[in-house]
């Protein structure tokens, strides 16, 4: 057992190291993860024999849940709205067109069986979110005409359509369903996926807003569970779990929920780990010795997909929008195939459907070709097509919240003796950079201006710059016991070190902002700021 854990830990450390060196080598990081898996695999140096496709499908499916969820969660909808129509058409009609064109090529040119040809087209019809995100972010590559957002939304949302096509074609191949069942299956996959995704997201946002978790990290655990239940509940009733998970992510990621920045950091790490897992495992599952046997048909499909099928689908969809030709060419080139295609290629192996060709290794080769050639050349092609936008940062495309100004909100209750009672906002002298942003009066919320009058029992919300990222000091808690020297003393009578300050007193369920006249009582918990 310990030897397996040791191998896993070494693989993680090696992958993290490869992530650092990939920029220097000019190769996409995910390609290096696949090569590492091949190195450890049965035909590699370490000779770890692994061919359990059923277990691989389970593990990769779970990994894809979080990649899909974070693909939605990290989408900045405000920036995505202008290109939403084009992205959705590319992720649905574009996937269908690509699948059909590749299928026809395989049937008429490569002489594969018809349904098997359509299956190969379906499996490789979607672009890979992880690959696209990785290259755009690592290269800080922002593109003109909001193209980065378009690629982000398309690649993040087109896996469900490819997954549905794969399932439908396999149903025909296994002869387990009639036409009526197939139509219902498509309906259930799409409709249940959308509806369940919306319901789960709305319920989760209400709970995150209303509930107060005892530990901040529990919110991350809760959303972790939300991603899982969005997928599993939808799949259980016959819907498409990936579609549901993506929709849940995009709704939650664009709602004002508490502690969003820690959630982003948490899922950024989880998604990174899932990418390492899925690409390494797929590399481990492959048999490089089988690649020469599929080299010619796989290369033919890869070239046709890259230079004919993908561009043709893109031009058919984007031409009516009068998109610039250089934008259409770059979008065509940026249609990278990745982990999802290989995972979908595992499905035929574990299904009752019979295939004559080694679809897994054909698709595996296509993905290697796509990431290695297309992925590596995206910066070069973007520059040659004059599509690089030097004035904007691509990170604003993603809803990472790292570009937001850190703010701190303060809530004040206006009691009978409060100095702000019955004063207008403009009559109050406050500290610089502090702004009154909201007044809660009974059940009514008031957006204040200078003439707004503050009344007794109002709750006034103030905002100012946050110190979250500033190393200003640390906080300690001190509980007042019966024998405490501070018991029943007022704060003004206590002599403190000049670098210490009591900033809060927790008394039962009450939080007290202290003054010099505040009396310290038994069982009080003092929150003390200690300056570095």
Distance CA 85, CA 153 (A): 10
Distance CA 113, CA 340 (A): 23
Range ranked top by mean pLDDT from 15-19, 251-255, 323-327: 323-327
Cβ neighbors of 251 (< 8 A, separation 6 or more) are 72, 197, 198, 201, 202, 205
**pLDDT tens profile 328-364:** 999 999 999 988 898 999 999 988 877 889 999 999 9
| Cβ count near 5 (within 10 Å) | 9
User: Which 3 state secondary structure label does DSSP give 221?
Assistant: helix
Domains of the chain: 2-46+58-389 (1.20.1530.20), 405-470 (3.30.70.1450), 471-532 (3.30.70.1450)
pLDDT value, residue 161:
94
Residue 530 confidence class, pLDDT cut points 50, 70, 90: low
- What b-and-e string marks burial along 393-429, b requiring 16 or more CB atoms within 10 Å of the CB? ebebbbbbeeeeeeeeeeebebeeebebeeeebeeee
Q: Is the pLDDT of residue 108 over 50?
A: yes
Cβ neighbors of 167 (< 8 A, separation 6 or more) are 185, 189, 347
Average pLDDT, the chain: 84
**pLDDT tens profile 441-461:** 887 888 888 888 999 889 888
Torsion of CA 201, 204, 208, 209, to 10 degrees: 70
**pLDDT tens profile 387-422:** 988 766 555 554 444 344 455 677 888 888 888 889
Judged by phi (left if over 0) then psi (alpha if -120 to 50, else beta), residue 422 lies in left
CB 448 within 8 A of CB 424: no
Mean pLDDT (whole number) for 147-156:
86
pLDDT value, residue 403:
40
Mean pLDDT (whole number) for 52-67:
91
Residue 493 confidence class, pLDDT cut points 50, 70, 90: confident
Residues linked to residue 412 through DSSP beta bridges, in sequence order: 460
Q: How far is CA 349 from the centre of its chain?
A: 29
**pLDDT tens profile 62-89:** 999 998 998 888 887 777 788 889 999 9
Query: Full-prediction pTM beyond 0.75?
Result: no
Residue 71 CB-density burial (10 A; 0-12 exposed, 13-18 middle, 19+ buried): buried
Lowest mean pLDDT among 302-306, 428-432, 503-507: 428-432
Q: Is the pLDDT of residue 220 over 60?
A: yes
Q: Is the pLDDT of residue 109 over 90?
A: yes
Residue 72 CB-density burial (10 A; 0-12 exposed, 13-18 middle, 19+ buried): buried
Counting residues of the chain whose pLDDT is more than 90, the rounded percentage is 37
pLDDT value, residue 471:
46
Q: Is the pLDDT of residue 468 over 60?
A: no
User: Which 3 state secondary structure label does DSSP give 445?
Assistant: strand
Q: 111 φ, ψ to 5°?
A: 65, 35
Distance CA 220, CA 486 (A): 39
**pLDDT tens profile 175-201:** 666 667 888 889 999 999 999 999 999
Q: How far is CA 237 from the centre of its chain?
A: 25
Q: Is the pLDDT of residue 472 over 80?
A: no
pLDDT value, residue 227:
96
DSSP 3-state percent helix, strand, coil across the chain (nearest 5): 60, 10, 30
Per residue, the 3-state secondary structure of 230-255, as one string, reads HHHHHHHCCCCHHHHHHHHHHHHHCC
Distance CA 106, CA 115 (A): 10
H or E segment and range at residue 99: helix 84-108
Q: By C-alpha distance, which of 98, 87, 33, 7 is closest to 368?
A: 33
**pLDDT tens profile 111-127:** 999 999 999 999 999 99
Chain position carrying tokens 């920036």: 79
Distance CA 413, CA 143 (A): 48
pLDDT value, residue 498:
62
CA angle, residues 256, 260, 262, in degrees to nearest 5: 175
pLDDT value, residue 492:
84
- The pair of structure tokens assigned to 368 is 């290697």
pLDDT value, residue 429:
74
CA distances to 20, 83, 246, 309 from 159, rounded to whole Å, are 28, 18, 10, 17
CA angle, residues 80, 82, 88, in degrees to nearest 5: 65
Q: Is the pLDDT of residue 237 over 50?
A: yes
């Amino acid at each position: 057992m310990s030897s397996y854990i040791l191998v896993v830990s070494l693989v993680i450390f090696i992958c993290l190291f490869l992530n650092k060196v990939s920029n220097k080598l000019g190769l996409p990081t995910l390609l290096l993860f696949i090569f590492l898996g091949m190195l450890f695999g049965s035909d590699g140096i370490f000779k770890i024999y692994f061919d359990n496709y059923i277990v691989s499908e389970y593990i990769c499916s779970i990994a894809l849940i979080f990649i899909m969820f974070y693909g939605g969660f990290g989408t900045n909808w405000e920036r995505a709205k202008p290109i939403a129509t084009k992205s959705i058409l590319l992720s649905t009609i574009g996937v269908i067109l690509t699948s059909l064109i590749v299928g026809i090529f395989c049937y008429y040119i490569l002489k594969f069986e018809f349904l098997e040809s359509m299956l190969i087209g379906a499996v490789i019809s979607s672009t890979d979110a992880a690959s696209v995100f990785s290259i755009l972010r690592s290269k800080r590559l922002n593109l003109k005409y909001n193209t980065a957002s378009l690629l982000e939304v398309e690649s993040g949302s087109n896996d469900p359509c490819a997954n549905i096509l794969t399932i439908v074609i396999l149903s025909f191949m296994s002869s387990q369903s009639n036409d009526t069942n197939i139509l219902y299956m498509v309906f259930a996959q799409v409709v249940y996926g959308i509806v369940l995704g919306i319901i789960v997201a709305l319920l989760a946002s209400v709970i995150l807003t209303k509930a107060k978790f005892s530990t901040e990290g529990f919110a991350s655990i809760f959303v972790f569970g939300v991603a899982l239940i969005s997928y599993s509940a939808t799949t259980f009733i016959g819907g498409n779990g990936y579609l549901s998970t993506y929709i849940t992510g995009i709704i939650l990621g664009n709602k004002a929920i508490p502690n969003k920045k820690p959630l982003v950091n948490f899922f950024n790490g989880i998604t990174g780990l899932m990418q390492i897992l899925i690409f390494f495992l797929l590399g481990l599952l492959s048999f490089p010795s089988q690649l020469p046997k599929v080299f010619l048909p796989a290369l033919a499909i890869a070239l046709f997909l890259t230079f004919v099928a993908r561009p043709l689908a893109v031009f058919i969809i984007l031409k009516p929008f009068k998109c610039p030709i250089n934008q259409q060419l770059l979008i065509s080139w940026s249609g990278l195939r990745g982990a999802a295609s290989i995972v979908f290629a595992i499905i035929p192996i574990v299904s009752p459907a019979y295939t004559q060709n080694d679809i897994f290794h054909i698709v595996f080769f296509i993905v290697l070709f796509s990431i290695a050639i297309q992925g590596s050349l995206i910066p070069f092609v973007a520059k040659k097509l004059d599509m690089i936008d030097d004035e904007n940062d691509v990170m604003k495309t993603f809803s990472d919240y790292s570009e937001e100004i850190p703010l701190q909100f303060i809530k004040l209750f206006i009691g009978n003796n409060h100095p702000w009672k019955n004063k207008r906002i403009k009559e109050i002298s406050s500290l610089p950079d502090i702004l009154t942003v909201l007044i809660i009066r009974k059940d009514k919320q008031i957006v204040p201006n200078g003439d707004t009058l503050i009344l007794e029992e109002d709750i006034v919300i103030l905002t100012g710059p946050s110190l979250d990222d500033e190393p200003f000091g640390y906080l300690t808690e001190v509980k007042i016991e019966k024998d405490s020297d501070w018991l029943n003393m007022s704060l003004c009578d206590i002599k403190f070190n000049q670098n210490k300050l009591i900033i809060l007193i927790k008394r039962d369920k009450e939080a007290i902002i202290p003054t010099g006249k505040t009396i310290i009582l038994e069982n009080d918990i003092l929150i003390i700021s200690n300056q570095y």
